[in-house]
Structure formats: C-alpha cells, structure tokens
Structure 1
Amino acid sequence: MDASAALHAPDVDTITLTLPDGATREVPYGTLPRDVVASIGERLLRAAVAVSVDGQIQDLITPLRKGGAFRVLTEKDPQALDVLRHSGAHVLATAVRRLRPDAKIGFGPAIEDGFYYDFEVEKPFTPDDLAAFEAEMRKVAQEKLAFERSEVSRDEARVVFREDPLKLERLQDLPEDEVISTYRDGDFVDLCRGPHVPDTSWLKHFKLLNTAGAYWRGDVKRQMLQRIYATAFFKKDDLEQHLHRIEEAKRRDHRLLGRQLDLFQFHAVSPGAAFWTPRGTILYNTIVDFVRERQQRDFNEVKTPLLYNKALWEQSGHWGKYRENMFLVLDNETNEHDMSLKPMNCPSHYVYFNSSKHSYRELPLRLVTMDVLHRNEVSGALSGLTRVRQFQQDDCHVFLREDQITAEVRFLLDFILGYYEAFGLKATLKFATRPEQRIGSDEQWDRAEAGLKAALGATGMPYELKPGDGAFYGPKIDFDVTDSIGRAWQLGTIQLDYMNPERFDMSYVGEDNAPHRPVVIHRAVSGSFERFIAILIEHFAGNFPTWLAPEQVRVVPIAADYDAYAEEVVGALRAAGVRVGYDREHRKDYREVIKDASHLKVPYMAVVGRREQEQRTVTLRRRGAEKQQESLGLDALVARLADEIRTRALWQDAPPTA
C-alpha cells in the first residue's frame, strides 16, 4: 500500500453496486471499475469510456470507494464527451511539452463545447505553434498511450511537480484528506483527479481553435497565461458540424454586423457603454416599445433614482457582497465614497413599495423599471453588447401573497415564453437552488425552494436542476434560449425571494386586518436589452424581420423624373407607420442606392420608374431574393407591409405566409 492509500484505509471491506437492470454486485473495496465491466462482458469493456457510480463519473482505473448505482458510459452517452475532452486537454499538454519543454502547466478542464489548457510561457503562442501542437497531438493519439493513474502522497507529488510552480500551488490548496492522484501518458505527468479515457487513441476527431490570454486562477493581479482552446468529438460528422457552427457564429458576430448595419459604436472615452446610432436607436426602441405594449395591462411601470447612498445597499446586502462591482461616487459632505450608481433595481422597488400601505386586494403588485444600470465589470471581460458596464433591463418585481406563488409563476412563465416566441427563440427551463454564499437561514431557503419547486412542478413543464446556482437571496428559474444555429443563451429569470421582505420589513394588510409579510418575485425577460439585441443580431444574422428592421423598405426612383411619384409612395407608407428610407438628393446612382440597401439588409426595396408611375405600382425586391421581382399596386404594397409589421411576422429570407 502506497503512502496515499494508507491515509485512506477503508471502513468497509466490500461495497455494493446496483446495475441498471436492478441486479447487485458485492465487490472488494478498491476494485477497479474495468474489472467490474469486464465481468459483465468483454464487448462492453471495449466500448466503455468511463463509469457512473452513484451519479459521479470516474474512469475505469480509479478504485471504487463507494457503492451505489453503477452504469457504464459509452460514446453514445452525453456525459462521456466530457471525459474525452478532458483527456484531450492532457494530450494537448503532452504535445506542448514535447515541443516546448519550457512551458509551465496550469489547468486543463473540459468546458461546454470543448476544452482548454493554460500554459505559462515567455512568448505568446502563434498560429504556427497551434498547427505544430495539433500535428503532435495526432502523433500522441496514434501512439495509443495508456492513461496510467497513480495515487501519491503530498511529498511525492511535490517531487514530481518540482519544476511546475502552478501545480505546486494547486497542490497546496488540496484538503488534507484529498486523494492525490497523477495521470501519465507517455512522458507527460499531470496532477489530476480524472476521469480519462483508457488511452490516447480515443482522441481521433479534434481541432485546436484559438489562443487567448488568461490570468492565473482568474486573478488580474496574477501572471498572464496562454490558454489554448480546442474541441473534440467521438464522431467526425459531429466535429465538422461544430466547426461549421463556429464559422457561422463568426459570420454572425454582432460586433461586426453592428458596424455593417450602422447600429452601435464603442469609444474609449466610455468603455463598456454603447453609443447607439439613429438606426440602432430605432431597433432598441422598437424592442422596448414591444415590451411596454405587452406589459401595459398587468404591470405598473415606475422610474426610480439612479444614485443611492450606501445605507440602502447595506440594508439589501449588496454593499458587503457586491460593492466591488458597483460604481462608487464621492459624497461631498462625508468626503467618502458613500454613494453608488444602481447596478440593479431591486432595492429601489422595495423603497417604493414601503412608501405606502398595501391591502391584500392589491396583490400581486408588479412593478417594472427600465432605467439605466451600471456594473463595474473588469475591462478584460467587456465584449461588445454581451458584456457591458451600462445597460437597461426589463426589470420587474412582483409583491404577492404566499398563496399566490403558484399562479404567479405560471403567469410569468407564459409571459416570458410568449415573448421569446415572438422572436423565434425556443426556451428550456433550469431550476437553481441555494448557493454556498447566501443570506437568510436554512429554514427560509427550505421554504423558498419548496415553494418555487412546487410552482414549477404545477406547470407540468420539464426542467433541469442546477444545484447551488441560485441568487444569494433566493432560488430561481432560469430560461435558456436556443438561437437559429443551436447556441444556448441564458436570458430570463424568475427568482423567489423571502429574504428581502424581511430585511426591508415589508408588509400588507391581510383580510384579517392584520399585517402580513409579502413574498417578492424578481423577473427579467430580456436580461439586458443590450445583450438581447446582440443575441437577436446573431440569431437573425442581421436579417431582421420587417417589424424589427430599422429601415423596413427603401424607395428607389431610377431617375429624377420619377421623384414626385416616389415621394407619393413614401408618404403612403409612412402614413401607415412603415419606416421608409428615401434618397431625396439623388447623391448616388440608383444602382448604388440598391447596393447600399442590400448592404444594410433592408427587408424590401420598392423601385419606381416610368412604367410604375403610369400604372401606380412599384417593383418590389425582397431581401435575399433580389432577382425575384414582383409588380405590386401601391395600395397592395402598403397593406402587405403594414400587415407584416402589425402581426410581427417572423420571415427572415423567405416570403411571408399569406
């Protein structure tokens, strides 16, 4: 028995495994999973990637130290993909150390859609380096090197990683009772818990994607490492489809399309805050107007101050837990940074609620604010519209009785899902429970989680559990939407809050004329409008449906002789509420005007010339099908576009349905 094993002597001699068919097996403590799988069948062993034991994934060479449900993972199991990708990170590190022995190794986890590995090197990696690393990885895979696991003492690990300071630092963080393990493939050894595939030959279909700078352990005060991102799949077709999606995502990048479509700008004078152009402002306001239209009957919109003193944030708990993300403002009277721009609307709604007495008959009371918010994101995290410092939310707080929770959650679910459907977005639900850092007692959390779970269950909708991912004041339902190229984005949320009604001493007068404590639900639909617009730009690839397009139709006279009729067309369309582009000055040839409209992805172009003027028609060109023209009477044109806008038809590059 080695030093590490001696520290973890078993309390039992045997453990019980329950197979998927319900059969049980008694095996000695420390049995290797591969031996259990081999006893089931050699064919299954050849197909096995890893095993699941009591819900935990481990590889075939990690000793069994607990019993429970035992399931073999093959490449058909979605959970097996993370095992392959984590192994791919080790193969990447193996290749890098072969070609760059000076590289110090950091972390190499599997992540969504792939994996990465961090290295400390003097010079950043180049595209040529990546090509060489990928070629070397293929050699490592072809060598079919077994992943060999060893359990070592802390002192033994210090010797193994004496030349890798990042690993030694990680070693210091491991709990005293941690089983310390290393994995070797060929000459490369890594400090790692696993799990891994049996050998390097399993890594067949992979691709190194790009490099990026990454601070060690995410700390801006620590050294900058070089992170190599990559992906891997069991099947070649899956890899090719994923790479195609990556290329499609690049083509749809909202930062590029935002410039092309003249929607927004960023400037160094105000990092993380967008300058919206006239066209972008139309798009922004169209979405805000749509939100207001949907909320005008059942919600109450209020406006609250942007600046508050720290007393409010201390009462809400933000001053202690969120202050580093807040923009602090110097108070001239105290000469201290005792003021802050609001990063969220919640506390201001609590103050407003408490400003008057409320009856049980008023509840649920839904307050909505769409004010500007500010969060002090680190500069390295800023990214176009998806991560900004200044933004607006369609932010709502519902004050309600406890017996109203189920009905209110159902109402809000329908409201949010209907909103996404208007943009052609499909949503899935996640139920997030108490995080490690939180306020409130366990009894309050038990009550909140039980209430929200019951309300969610009553809807009959499927959902995924996200343990530990709740807000610091309460559990929540998150909405992940999938865009047109299959990417998931976390957007809306419903958060149940028992804590802040206590903190702010909220009350309403019940039917018994006695004071009662309300419950608060935090609700957001778009998240931030900035991020939502970024998602829509990429979802539609800039080809907005007509109702969203900043310019809905471009009227193009082919010569000055037809200006009078062109202006009549413009007038009729504008009278119907259509957003029309028209070049009165004829600074460009009409062919250039058409080209410009195409570049800006204007949904329609209405061309007028002699024939159109005589017949009171237009020649209509539809975006994406410019060669397919149709002649349409003026009244018919106005009716079509007005109806398309009114119904918020979702066609992108196909004709609207009749």
Structure 2
Amino acid sequence: MPESISCMIQPLKSKSQASNSKTMIKITLPDGSVREYAQGSTGMDIALSISEGLARNVLAAKVNGKVQDASLPINEDSEVALLTWNDTDGKQTFWHSSAHLLAEALEALYPGTKFGIGPAIENGFYYDIDMGEKSLSQDDFKKIEDKMLELARQKNEFSRKAVSKADAIGYFTEKNDEYKLELIDGLEDGSITFYSQGNFTDLCRGPHIPNTGFIKAVKLMSVAGAYWRGDEKRKQMTRVYAITFPKQKELDEYLHLLEEAKRRDHRKLGKELDLFAFSEKVGMGLPLWLPKGAMLRERLENFLRRAQVRAGYSPVVTPHIGSKQLYVTSGHYAKYGADSFKPIHTPDENEEFLLKPMNCPHHCEIFKTKPRSYRDLPLRLAEFGTVYRYEQSGELHGLTRVRGFTQDDAHIFCTSDQVEEEFMKVIDLVLYVFKALGFENFSAQISLRDPENKEKYIGSDQDWEKAENAIIKSAAAKGLPTVVELGEAAFYGPKLDFMVKDALGRKWQLGTIQVDYQLPQRFELEYTGSDNQKHCPVMIHRAPFGSLERFIAILIENTAGNFPLWLSPEQLAILPISEKYENYANELFLRLQEVDLRGYVDHRDEKIGRKIRDAEVSKVPFMLIVGEKESAEGMVSVRKKGEGDLGMMLVEQFITLAQEEINKNILRF
C-alpha cells in the first residue's frame, strides 16, 4: 500500500464505540447498500472498510454527485462512489493531478516558467505555460518525462489548503506569475484553495489523487501555441499536451491504438481510396464526393430507403433554403441567433432567405399542405436533406465536422397515444442499421432537460414530462442499456442518442430520436380526431445515420476502408494477364454488371503482380485474373482480399459466391 495512503487511514471504531463519541451518518453506495460511519469519515476510510485492495486503488470520491479528494471529510448523509482508474471521473482526476506533476517538472527544469491553466481533457491533459525567451520542442520531451517519473516516485501527497485572496495574491506576486494573478482576480475571497505536492504549489479547486506515486507511465504528446484565455489579442503561450497511466502496459497499448488510429484515419483513407476531397475554392468544410465516394453514399442511401419504404415512410424533397420567417416560427432563429443564420441575397431586397440548417420546419409545412385526419396518422416523412451550419474553421475536421452535410432525416407526425409505439419502431430501425453495418457495441443516452435551467427550453412542463416519459418507457421496453444525461436535450424536446463504440474503443454519437411537442404547436399543425375536434399532433424526429458525412467517416475508420462486399464502391477488379485477353475481360465485365456486381477492368500495360498489388492497396474485395485457360474455358481465377487465391471457377460459380456473401451480410428489415 502506498505510504501516503496508509498514513492517512486510521482504524475505524466499531459502531458502538463511534456512537458514543461521534454522530453517525448514513452512506449510500452505488450498489444501493447503506452503511453507517462516524461523521467526518473520508472516502478513503470508506474504501478501507470495504477492502484494502479497493483503498489502494481509490483516486477520488464522488459525494452527492460532486468529485472530491478521497481525504476530505464527509459530514452528512450522502451518496458516495469511490472512483478508480476504471471510472471516467477517476481518470479525469488522475490526469488533472498529472498536469500539476508536469508543472512541477517544468518549474524544476526551467526556473521562471509561468503557468496558465492545466485541465484534464478527453485523453490526458495539457498545461499552458510561458517560458519567456525559451522555447520547447520534442527534443526536450524525454528530459521532462524522466523528471516527471522521478518526482512521481517520491509519492508526494497532494495537500489542499484554503487561503485568503490576499495571501493568494501575495504568493503569486512574489512568484511574479501574472497569469495566476489574473485568475485570482476573478475569484471570491473565501473560495480559494491551493494544492501542493513536493516543491510545487498551484492555484486549484481540485480534486486530486492521494499522491504522485499512482503515476507510473508518462508520455508528452505535442506542443502547440495557444492564446491566453483563447483571446488572439493576448499573448501566445506554449501548450504542452501529455498523457499518463498507472501502468506502463496501458501507455504502450494507448500508443499502439494511436498508431492504429492514424492508419485508419478517414481523411487519409478517403484520399487513398478516392472517396472525397476538399477544395479551398469551393469552401472550407464543404466536401466534394468523388465517383467512388458517391457510389458508397448511394449504396447507403438505397439501403436505408428500402428499409424506410417497408416501415411505411413516404419520401419528400425540400429546398436548400427557406425564408427567414420559417426559422422565426420554428424558434431556431431566436435560439441560435442571427450569427448562425446568414442571409442569401436575391435581386429583391425585400426577400430574405437563409441556408437550411435543419429539415424539420420544411416538413412541418408539408404536413400543412392539406387537411389531416387521425386516419392519416402516423404520417412518416423521410428525406436525405442537405443542411448547412457554420462551424469555426478551427473546429472543422474531415467529414466528422463539416459545414454542409446530408441528414437521413425523417419526421413522424402522430397522436399522443401513438408516440411510444412509433418511438419503439424507430429504435428497431436504428438497431437494424447498426447491426447491418457492424456497429453492435453501443449504448443509448437519454438526454433530458436540465431541471435547474429550464429557461433554456421552450414548452410547458407537462409536455416535457410526457415526452421524457415516452422515451424512458420505450427504451426500457426495448431493453436498451441506457444512461441519463441532464441538460443534453434539444431546446424543443428530449432525445435518445446512440453512442457507438468503434474498433478502437472510441465512442461516437450517431443515431438520434427526439420527441417534440413544441414545433407542431408553433406551426399550428392540426388534425381532425375521431371526436371530430381539432388536435395538435406530436412530432418525432429521427436520423439513424445522424449525417451521412459523419457516419461514413466513422464507417471508414471502423472498417479501415475494408467495406463489406455489398457496400464496397468497387467489388471486383478484372485483371487480364495481357492485352490478348482484354476482349474476354470486357465481356466478363458486362456479364457481372448484369447481376449488379460493380468493378472495373485494369487495362494498364503492367505485369499481373503489379495489378494485384494495386487492387489490394485499393481494398478491392475480389480480383478476377483472366488468361489463356480462363478465356478458353469461360472461367476466372479468383483472389479474395485477406484470403488469397480461391482457385479457378466458372463465372457462374463466382457470381453465386459473391451473391451469397452479399445476402449473408446485408440484412432485411
């Protein structure tokens, strides 16, 4: 057991002993069990009472939803979770503490360094520093890493101390660190804490891990420039990115995943496989789909169109623009502001059009094109609609963050009695899409209103409660593994977001389903009920892919560009050994086209080995080699990517082989 932990842990008194001297409090653990402890017991005390093994691994404690040091006292009945490396909050605490260790190492190696902020991020942490005239490069990384590990081995405790604002100002004035002084200026007296470990003290709210000894593996990842507080008018600091782990093995595995991620990067593969491109003249964040990429998109669209037709959806098409009044009515204009909606100029100065940022207002207007009856409901309208949203240039990233993207959008208009049934049918459709495309490792996030900040949302509490209950009940009925996130709802309604884990263990938000009582009211939609009275329908928004661009990016990375045969833009390459067999190759190509097998004939004057290698690099699933014997006997020699030579077979045998693989992999909805 680390010394710093063992010295903190005191044997707990028995309940009878404690009750004689201290007030007892009730602690509810994540499994629902309730235990009694003396008032003032710490998270570490609770861990030790469960097992020494747990205590050795506790990094922090979550008390009534707030993460704090495991050494802080708990003085009232509380819900307590003990956080380890296996918990997201545990990792975040570990990495924030590692940022302090990095700062300690930098201060020791480069005296006079000034420090900005050092938060944990999704993977690791960074610290913004000002080294004056000095500069930092990758050549310095090893020295800094070694110093961090040297300091970590000292197992110095992270000690917390409350300080007055005057004392905090005095400390950093003496240290001549204007960045910390600026941060202190925005803090209230009585709310300021310092954390110290070894010879380093920092302004920090915490929490932190018990001691530096938990940090066993360190890797500095990169350095970059970062303006202080994100203001380009302020000084540019040096941002040092790093990551740490409690075991060297975990760092090695992480670095291997990074290399694998580079190999699978959709931007790299998109270029190599001729799927998509970007042009500065066209505009940043506006992808150009090349022929192979367009074929891939078309296959995905047709796949979902077929499923939607069988599920009772009707296709619609709406314009790429809409009048300003459309978005004023929907509430989007007021919510996202004029900065997000740029006008499109026309010769008539009285006209004001906007690029379409979403399809739902257009679909509301389609509902209004004629009187509706309860017999018409549910009405399911589907569109592959391209929308446009302004993203900051620094946030654009390949296909995952673009300014123009196509949603596999649909809106279901139904009665309130039909909401749960329709919602469950959409869940079925999303699950079908994920299974057919190999995304079977996922969780579902129920995104609800923030009850403390209701002014962010439109609509009555009653409507929100009905919408939220419909989602919760539908997800439970389908047996979905779910987590609830408060404050993640859309401004007009709650939603169910599908978080997919890819081959590298990364999580992505793909499909989404939303229940909306608000837009139908804002657009004054109505139908005649069985009681011959007018009623307002409920609207369900859904997009199983989310957006084609983002979905394809994740699909490329998940498969490393090795698409299933039914989806592959080019399913086969016909490789004649020499020009003497090109006529046979061309006849074969036409025969395969007749049965909807796509590919090309490699007419280049290259040796067959080069043609095979190039087809492999292009990730073509099948290579059909034709020479004298194949031509004479109406056969093909077949190679399959990843499996090698399958031998010679009749053309019809190959067609059967390919079609069986397609039928095996593409499911029917």
TM-score normalised by the chain length of structure 2 = 0.88
Structure 1 residues 319 and 159: alpha-carbon distance in aligned structure 2, compared to 1, 3 A threshold = farther
**Residue of 608, 614, 639 corresponding to 2:656:** 639
Aligned to 1:145, the other structure's residue is in SS state: coil
2:516 is the alignment partner of 1:472: no
Alignment deviations for residues 405-435 of structure 1 (CA, whole Å, 9 cap, x no partner): 1111110111001101111112210111114
Q: CA deviation at 1:130?
A: 3.1
Alignment deviations for residues 307-357 of structure 1 (CA, whole Å, 9 cap, x no partner): 122212112222122243334323544479x43101111111112212222
Check the 8 A contact 2:43/2:82 in 1, yes or no.
no
Check the 8 A contact 1:405/1:455 in 2, yes or no.
no
Q: Which residue of 1 aligns with 2:18?
A: none
Structure 1 residues 625 and 329: alpha-carbon distance in aligned structure 2, compared to 1, 3 A threshold = same
2:653 is the alignment partner of 1:615: no
**Residue of 164, 171, 189 corresponding to 1:153:** 164
Q: Equivalences for 1:55-74 in 2 at 5 Å?
A: 55-64=65-74, 66-74=76-84
The alignment's C-alpha RMSD in Å is 2.7
Aligned to 1:533, the other structure's residue is in SS state: helix
2:211 is the alignment partner of 1:199: yes
Q: Which residue of 2 aligns with 1:502?
A: 521
Check the 8 A contact 2:520/2:539 in 1, yes or no.
yes
2:589 is the alignment partner of 1:570: yes
Structure 1 residues 274 and 403: alpha-carbon distance in aligned structure 2, compared to 1, 3 A threshold = same
Q: CA deviation at 1:300?
A: 1.4
2:217 is aligned with what amino acid? H
Alignment deviations for residues 543-575 of structure 1 (CA, whole Å, 9 cap, x no partner): 111111111111111012222222222121111
Q: Which residue of 2 aligns with 1:5?
A: none
Aligned to 1:189, the other structure's residue is in SS state: strand
Rounded Cα–Cα distance in structure 1 between residues aligned with 2:53 and 2:551: 49
Aligned to 1:451, the other structure's residue is in SS state: helix
Q: CA deviation at 1:55?
A: 3.6
Aligned to 2:345, the other structure's residue is in SS state: strand
2:153 is the alignment partner of 1:142: yes
Q: Which residue of 1 aligns with 2:403?
A: 389
Rounded Cα–Cα distance in structure 2 between residues aligned with 1:257 and 1:533: 12
2:611 is aligned with what amino acid? V
Check the 8 A contact 2:561/2:619 in 1, yes or no.
yes
**Residue of 558, 564, 574 corresponding to 1:545:** 564
Alignment deviations for residues 98-145 of structure 1 (CA, whole Å, 9 cap, x no partner): 334454433333333333333356687422233332222112212222
Q: CA deviation at 1:456?
A: 2.1
2:36 is the alignment partner of 1:18: no
Check the 8 A contact 1:81/1:234 in 2, yes or no.
no
Check the 8 A contact 1:53/1:71 in 2, yes or no.
yes
Rounded Cα–Cα distance in structure 2 between residues aligned with 1:36 and 1:605: 63
Check the 8 A contact 1:577/1:642 in 2, yes or no.
no
**Residue of 96, 105, 116 corresponding to 2:106:** 96
Aligned to 1:432, the other structure's residue is in SS state: strand
Identity %: 41
Alignment deviations for residues 194-249 of structure 1 (CA, whole Å, 9 cap, x no partner): 22111111111232223344555556676654433333333333332222211111
1:16 is aligned with what amino acid? I
Structure 1 residues 494 and 170: alpha-carbon distance in aligned structure 2, compared to 1, 3 A threshold = farther
Check the 8 A contact 2:386/2:405 in 1, yes or no.
yes
Check the 8 A contact 2:154/2:213 in 1, yes or no.
yes
Q: Which residue of 1 aligns with 2:580?
A: 561
Q: Which residue of 2 aligns with 1:433?
A: 448
Q: Equivalences for 1:188-587 in 2 at 5 Å?
A: 188-214=200-226, 216-217=228-229, 224-269=236-281, 270-297=283-310, 298-323=312-337, 324-334=339-349, 338-426=352-440, 427-435=442-450, 436=453, 437-584=456-603, 586-587=604-605
2:203 is the alignment partner of 1:185: no
Rounded Cα–Cα distance in structure 1 between residues aligned with 2:274 and 2:185: 52
1:603 is aligned with what amino acid? P
Rounded Cα–Cα distance in structure 2 between residues aligned with 1:558 and 1:532: 38
2:165 is aligned with what amino acid? R
Aligned to 1:554, the other structure's residue is in SS state: strand
1:643 is aligned with what amino acid? E
Rounded Cα–Cα distance in structure 2 between residues aligned with 1:525 and 1:303: 18
Alignment deviations for residues 348-387 of structure 1 (CA, whole Å, 9 cap, x no partner): 1112212222111111211112122111111111111111
Aligned to 1:527, the other structure's residue is in SS state: coil
**Residue of 621, 627, 631 corresponding to 1:603:** 621
Unaligned runs of 5+ in 1: 1-12, 651-658
Check the 8 A contact 2:217/2:245 in 1, yes or no.
yes
Rounded Cα–Cα distance in structure 2 between residues aligned with 1:433 and 1:253: 33
Rounded Cα–Cα distance in structure 2 between residues aligned with 1:74 and 1:591: 54
Rounded Cα–Cα distance in structure 1 between residues aligned with 2:443 and 2:231: 33
Aligned to 2:569, the other structure's residue is in SS state: coil
1:109 is aligned with what amino acid? P
Aligned to 2:545, the other structure's residue is in SS state: strand
Q: Which residue of 1 aligns with 2:129?
A: 119
Q: Which residue of 2 aligns with 1:8?
A: none
Higher mean C-alpha deviation, range 111-120 or range 429-438: 111-120
Unaligned runs of 5+ in 2: 1-21
Check the 8 A contact 2:169/2:181 in 1, yes or no.
yes
Alignment deviations for residues 4-42 of structure 1 (CA, whole Å, 9 cap, x no partner): xxxxxxxxx9672426453312415xx655566667777
**Residue of 133, 137, 142 corresponding to 2:144:** 133
Aligned to 2:34, the other structure's residue is in SS state: coil
Check the 8 A contact 2:516/2:540 in 1, yes or no.
yes
Check the 8 A contact 1:557/1:563 in 2, yes or no.
yes
2:249 is aligned with what amino acid? D
1:322 is aligned with what amino acid? Y
Check the 8 A contact 1:15/1:65 in 2, yes or no.
no
Q: CA deviation at 1:520?
A: 1.1
Q: CA deviation at 1:255?
A: 0.8
Rounded Cα–Cα distance in structure 2 between residues aligned with 1:571 and 1:46: 68
1:602 is aligned with what amino acid? V
**Residue of 572, 588, 610 corresponding to 1:592:** 610
Rounded Cα–Cα distance in structure 2 between residues aligned with 1:562 and 1:238: 54
Check the 8 A contact 1:604/1:623 in 2, yes or no.
yes
Q: Which residue of 1 aligns with 2:9?
A: none
Higher mean C-alpha deviation, range 156-165 or range 379-388: 156-165
Q: Which residue of 2 aligns with 1:86?
A: 96
Rounded Cα–Cα distance in structure 2 between residues aligned with 1:349 and 1:124: 56
Rounded Cα–Cα distance in structure 2 between residues aligned with 1:302 and 1:315: 21
Structure 1 residues 275 and 38: alpha-carbon distance in aligned structure 2, compared to 1, 3 A threshold = closer
Aligned to 1:481, the other structure's residue is in SS state: strand
Higher mean C-alpha deviation, range 429-438 or range 127-136: 127-136
TM-score normalised by the chain length of structure 1 = 0.89
Aligned to 1:52, the other structure's residue is in SS state: strand
